[in-house]
Amino acid sequence: MPAMRVLSVSFVVALAAGMTLAAILWPAPAAGEEQDLVQCQRVNAAQLRTASEETLLFLRCRARQTSYEAPRLKGVTQKFRDDLVFACLDQADAIEHQLRVAHGYTRETLSRKKCDY
């Protein structure tokens, strides 16, 4: 079984570096390459202050994609899969809350944009 490598993706750094969202969300693995996992870490205060609607959409799409891919992970426990999915969802929830509180968005306004994959 191939070894797994955990990637810690900081959405602010990745977007600032000019990486495309698709490249961050769905990297194409080469044949025989290690399986990459996205590790969704807690969003810090600076990231919350600079978060935008695009950031929220990116995190929602990544959380959705992670929830689709998590059941296919081999060699990890169900608890690990669940923790990975819920950590990604928590990131999106934190950004949504910040946008609603600090910038006056409504849930309906923020829910209009959808992932286009």
pLDDT, tens only, 58-97 = 999 999 999 999 999 888 899 999 999 999 999 999 999 9
Distance of alpha carbon 66 from alpha carbon 46, whole angstroms: 24
Q: What's residue 38's pLDDT?
A: 67
Half-sphere exposure of 65 (CA within 13 A, CB side): 21
Q: Are 88 and 40 in contact (CB under 8 A)?
A: yes
Beta bridge partners of 75: none
pLDDT, tens only, 64-75 = 999 999 999 888
